[in-house]
A = this chain, B = another copy of it.
């Protein structure tokens, strides 16, 4: 999106938000970041996004304070992109968008999101119906559903098959 950043004419916080996360690929990058993806190459293979676009989006998101670039090892110098509070604050949006997509345009249940403390499936607003609280993102347990390909090609998808909490860094199995 953002051809000339034309949404500026709009007096609306939805337009403000879309100027930042409304570009192609951006929300999928944020989804992956919330799932625990942190490294350039992992985004690349999981999303199938062109390299130049990924680099652009990571810079934009970093500049907007949604991701943070952080060195996790010297020699060879390697950086990772980790989520900030701003990205975490997008979880309800991402969640409700996914729910809408599943209800209206998806055949099978692809993933379950549960309250890690009690195992109850999350309600539509990210709350736990059993505990009657809004579940913090780091306490959301993501599990594969019956509709998910049990043997995907790329290693990131494979790592995301195991039940895991959100935000927890993805560990790619080196073969």
Contacts and interface: CB of A to CB of B under 8 A. Distances in A.
Interface stretch (A36-44, A73-81, A95-103, A163-171): A95-103
Nearest to A99: B13
A28 B48 contact: no
Counting chain A residues whose Cβ lies within 8 A of the other chain, the interface size class is 35 or more
Contacts of A10: 28, 47-48
The A contact surface, by secondary structure, is: helix
Contacts of A89: 100, 103-104
B9 A48 contact: yes
A1 interface: yes
A106 to B, nearest CB: 5
Contacts of A96: 92-93, 96
A148 interface: yes
Contact of A17 (B9, B13, B16, B101): B101
